[in-house]
Structure 1
């Protein structure tokens, strides 16, 4: 009499099955089978509580029914009532020792508890009942994984999957075994099989999308999420993740749609940073203003929203100041709002007001770093000795090592401003010495390549490939900041926590190319092969390199002729001084000023040779007179690259650096290093003295 209900369940018609099962229970209220069928129908419809109540009704009528206890345990496993589930499983086994599913379910519960010995016992018991069952293999493989034996897990699960390629629990375990072995592509395929059995699982789709993203297939990762995003109750976090993937796939318009949906519930910095990036790439400032202003109308006390709104106006100091004033009006007691107002007053030319506000903030919260640093910058211009005194007071209170380092670096600048170059130099050398043990040595230049291959013809079409580099102290960071803000496909990951592992990253590549140990085609092929995983969807790429060596030209001239090398440059003696005083982005150790000068002379000698002999398409970006002017930097880059580059806000460059020629103030203290650099400075067009 229950065939029609069972047929409806097989067809996935939950509503039909529930209605028919309720009729069956009404007609046969004392029949436990009717209640069990109703439980199955309610479970399919998503009514977990109703399904449990129905199975309880069946057990009340037939308390010795082992299968009903097993069904109840299956329902309880996905609820907080795990203890009840285990009791139901034990009851099922007690009533029928051959209840194979009970042992499997108990095994998975034991896995959840971390009781691996119990998992092994239950797997053996289940294997005695059904030795070739895929659920046994899934349990045994998962047990091997939990014990750290990925090879054994993969062997067990692969063998079982050949016989049962569509068993979801087995394939799920196999996917995790592939992950343990680092086989992301195989793992992704396995979880796609599991997804066929649970297509509505948003967590599973997110998991698969992350796997695809790890392999650099960001567009495909976003596509995996689409069915889950179509649900009217799709979580804001899911929309944010989709937006981030679309950004990585270089589809900012699609990203913006998802990120705006996320903004309705999520106003954290992660969401707002992604939104800001999408608006920047689309140059959609007006949309950014209207969207954020609407959100601020509802949440005027949200500091993260105000920060995001302020970032929209980075190119216009007057607009930025107006936003900061609105922020202060909405949150008059907010120190971040006052700090923002201070910065925008300075960038819009109201320096006196900015200095007064900085002093006021330090009175409200003595030691607050940003306004304290602003006051110190002011004193460096007007009263360097007072700056030294103030920095020393801050050092006495500072607990954070990074803050102490920055303050000591600033102390050196204060000594310099006070006309005490030897003391400044001693301070900076001490700081460089502390970093030496934590950083690798400078990459040594390769032996000169005596004969270079002919420049290969350009490919058709010719992609935009740019290799950016600048020696320490060149202020290449400001070139990178300008390119990045302009939306160029600039990769900065070589300076991050997870750099690519390719030839440009390895310090011995230059010598291997020079000796012929490394094939140029292989070197460039390896570089290209990692671009997608680094977020580059097409052949257009700007790569910010850690180091430069003319030995690279043996590979570039033959296998990457479309590239343009962009090199930031200043007077080498100013570069050495800047390196000592401010440090560098690259993770290299500076052994001493003399060692740094010797290394700079060698690598800049190669730059001079590249330029003099025009060995490869390149542009030198001389930063000496434009380093403090974002508009001038953008103009030089626009001319060099033949594309429009927008200027960044002045504060994106950070505090001012030494004026051109400041090295002369240290001519006595650094006489020997500067003597080493004088010849290459002259080759590059700078005066000898």
Structure 2
């Protein structure tokens, strides 16, 4: 439909284009593209007031779309002088081919229609008339932003604004440029100024709300959009969604529930579902959860996200859980996540025939599906290990990328382990680590023991309850974080991605700096707190997954963060070493040899033992030995430590069972001997 409208406009058949746009908007009232096209066509027809109404509806449906805000600014400016606008449009049809405004007007129309190439062509033509005209510089700033070049857009807009001061479009370019750079405060400042300059700036409110939320002001964010919610014409599902998520972050449960329910009724949405699941768990309101999800499934039975949420309300392996899973499979028989869930469920139940059946179906739908291929090989392992291992080696070689081959090589090592070929498995793992050691991080040193600690301060009565989460390689800490995240908690895993906060807890050298006095303990905590709003945490209640830990951090945490709680995942140290060898670790650490890894693990675990035995800081040891492969047990272990009830994750791929280290007692005798003493300190048997 959009192409037909564009074709009519290119032929100057404005009436035809308008009829098509009105038909599309009527058929798809919740489609921002339809409303945008209607707005552009109405503007071309000389009715900017009606165009503004359609464009405002588009903005409410897609508040994050930069181009919509630029087009709104242009429409409002045209409404102030419709005569000049008509002249510009006439000129854009070629009445004055050497007049700069004609090209600028045509470029604006091209941008409104999403034709970036045409707008760039017009810009190049206009540059031959006056390359330094600030209006052309402003157009080029907008083009740079639309090309995904925020630095260039900001530079050009700043240059043009010297002569075009308080131009709404230029300010919008600056705002979206800063938004792309994640400079939230500068973006907010620019958009606030736009809202002051333009009449009826309600369409900007959702964007200003988003910026307030980004800076840790969710209450303000919700209040920004609340007036729009009172008007049925503006209370779109997209706005309900945004309002519900702002209210959720602000701790306004009743309002969050109301708006998220309304948003869900318009169609499945992953973020909305996560928010609702968190609210239902917090309120222990299974009845409302069931009613809402069943109603949603009645209208959207082909939504995997809805079925996944519905299944999460049941305990895996129970009759009701199996019934829901069967209904999911019946509704979506070729849905890969449903088949994966069923495959892992049957694996957990020990039903190998059913596992093989689901794996075979997955391979038909997705040839080379890693987990399914692995299950099919593993089904052959007991009866014909040679054939299974040959098939596994062929599967590894067939992977299209080095990353995929690496993951499959780890699996091949675990197959060798399951086949009882411990020496081959160990040699395979050592070779795998050696291949990637140069690209991985060196093992950071731990500080020496500290004899005297600063007093543990008293937490304020109304202090937040932050949690720091950490575990050494092989501990299973990633499954703890996955469980907490799935429960809807304020879990931050950003330290493991490209947007890691630059605070002292990021660096493994901070412990030594605290110990030597090179860094102020109060500043360590102050900087950590100061980064939380930009990470989406407004109230200080956070679960922060740390890549590193050293007891020397307690020199800062004891006096300045007494309200904190440290969660430490542990297993038998010898199983941890074996798991690290077999599965790697969340932090990409270089494992040069089992002996070096055991020495480093022992030092880290000795700090854990000191922490626990001397009760150096509020903490919980999460012993995951028997829970690592059982999502219900894992949820129970974490929930009991925190005094809450957590839902289990779906079944995941199994790790090596507790005590497996004993089968490697000969091959790894030296490393295990180094870990024996700390294993005893942590309560694990000698053999």
Scaled by the length of structure 2, what TM-score is found?
A: 0.75
Alignment pair present for 1:148 and 2:162: no
Alignment pair present for 1:655 and 2:661: no
Structure 2 counterpart SS, 1:407: helix
* Residues 1:323 and 1:353: Cα distance change in structure 2 (over 3 Å): farther
Contact 1:568–1:623 under 8 Å retained in 2: yes
Contact 1:631–1:648 under 8 Å retained in 2: yes
Residue number in structure 1 paired with 2:11: none
Which segment drifts farther, 481-490 or 521-530?
481-490
Q: Distance in 1 between matches of 2:53 and 2:484?
A: 55
1:505, distance to aligned residue in structure 2 (A)? 1.1
Question: What does 1:353-364 align with in structure 2 at a 5 Å threshold?
Answer: 354-355=354-355, 357-358=357-358, 361=361, 364=364
Structure 1 counterpart SS, 2:554: helix
Question: What does 1:515-554 align with in structure 2 at a 5 Å threshold?
Answer: 515-554=516-555
| Deviation sequence 1:467-502 (CA, Å, 0-9, x none) | 221111112233333434444443333234422221
Alignment pair present for 1:70 and 2:84: yes
Residue number in structure 1 paired with 2:9: none
Contact 1:521–1:555 under 8 Å retained in 2: yes
Contact 1:212–1:220 under 8 Å retained in 2: yes
Contact 1:246–1:255 under 8 Å retained in 2: yes
The one of 29, 44, 51 equivalent to 2:49 is 44
* Residues 1:494 and 1:380: Cα distance change in structure 2 (over 3 Å): farther
Contact 1:503–1:523 under 8 Å retained in 2: yes
| Deviation sequence 1:7-41 (CA, Å, 0-9, x none) | xxxxxxxxxxxxxxxxxxxxxxxxxxxxxxxx999
Q: Distance in 2 between matches of 1:665 and 1:607?
A: 26
Residue number in structure 1 paired with 2:194: 194
| Deviation sequence 1:645-671 (CA, Å, 0-9, x none) | 33514x44x233323322121122222
The one of 138, 155, 161 equivalent to 1:157 is 161
* Residues 1:294 and 1:454: Cα distance change in structure 2 (over 3 Å): closer
1:432, distance to aligned residue in structure 2 (A)? 2.2
Contact 1:281–1:487 under 8 Å retained in 2: no
Residue number in structure 2 paired with 1:438: 439
1:578, distance to aligned residue in structure 2 (A)? 0.6
Residue number in structure 2 paired with 1:394: 395
1:118, distance to aligned residue in structure 2 (A)? 5.9
* Residues 1:362 and 1:232: Cα distance change in structure 2 (over 3 Å): closer
1:525, distance to aligned residue in structure 2 (A)? 0.2
1:236, distance to aligned residue in structure 2 (A)? 3.7
1:156, distance to aligned residue in structure 2 (A)? 6.3
Q: Distance in 2 between matches of 1:527 and 1:48?
A: 45
The one of 667, 672, 675 equivalent to 1:674 is 672
Q: Distance in 2 between matches of 1:258 and 1:89?
A: 52
Q: Distance in 1 between matches of 2:267 and 2:599?
A: 52
Which segment drifts farther, 186-195 or 483-492?
483-492
Contact 1:107–1:118 under 8 Å retained in 2: no
Residue number in structure 2 paired with 1:404: 405
Contact 2:92–2:103 under 8 Å retained in 1: no
Which segment drifts farther, 549-558 or 562-571?
562-571
Question: What does 1:209-220 align with in structure 2 at a 5 Å threshold?
Answer: 209-220=209-220
Q: Distance in 2 between matches of 1:598 and 1:233?
A: 63
Question: What does 1:134-145 align with in structure 2 at a 5 Å threshold?
Answer: none
Which segment drifts farther, 368-377 or 563-572?
368-377
Contact 2:138–2:156 under 8 Å retained in 1: no
1:574, distance to aligned residue in structure 2 (A)? 1.1
Residue number in structure 2 paired with 1:18: none
1:281, distance to aligned residue in structure 2 (A)? 4.8
Structure 2 counterpart SS, 1:148: helix
Contact 1:385–1:418 under 8 Å retained in 2: no
Q: Distance in 1 between matches of 2:672 and 2:192?
A: 63
Contact 1:150–1:180 under 8 Å retained in 2: no
Contact 1:172–1:194 under 8 Å retained in 2: yes
Contact 1:137–1:170 under 8 Å retained in 2: no
Residue number in structure 2 paired with 1:499: 500
Contact 1:503–1:526 under 8 Å retained in 2: yes
Alignment pair present for 1:86 and 2:92: yes
Q: Distance in 1 between matches of 2:662 and 2:562?
A: 40
Q: Distance in 2 between matches of 1:494 and 1:429?
A: 27
* Residues 1:589 and 1:296: Cα distance change in structure 2 (over 3 Å): same
| Deviation sequence 1:560-619 (CA, Å, 0-9, x none) | 122222222122111100111112222323232222112112211222222333332333
Contact 2:469–2:568 under 8 Å retained in 1: yes
Q: Distance in 1 between matches of 2:535 and 2:182?
A: 18
1:173, distance to aligned residue in structure 2 (A)? 5.1
Residue number in structure 2 paired with 1:10: none
Contact 2:434–2:592 under 8 Å retained in 1: yes
Q: Distance in 1 between matches of 2:355 and 2:414?
A: 19
RMSD, aligned α-carbons: 4.1
Q: Distance in 1 between matches of 2:159 and 2:335?
A: 60
Name the structure, 1 or 2, with higher relative contact order (CA <8 Å, separation 6+).
2
Contact 2:356–2:376 under 8 Å retained in 1: no
* Residues 1:284 and 1:428: Cα distance change in structure 2 (over 3 Å): farther
* Residues 1:353 and 1:309: Cα distance change in structure 2 (over 3 Å): farther
Question: What does 1:274-313 align with in structure 2 at a 5 Å threshold?
Answer: 275-277=276-278, 279-313=280-314
Q: Distance in 2 between matches of 1:334 and 1:136?
A: 51
* Residues 1:278 and 1:635: Cα distance change in structure 2 (over 3 Å): closer
Residue number in structure 1 paired with 2:568: 567
* Residues 1:217 and 1:90: Cα distance change in structure 2 (over 3 Å): farther
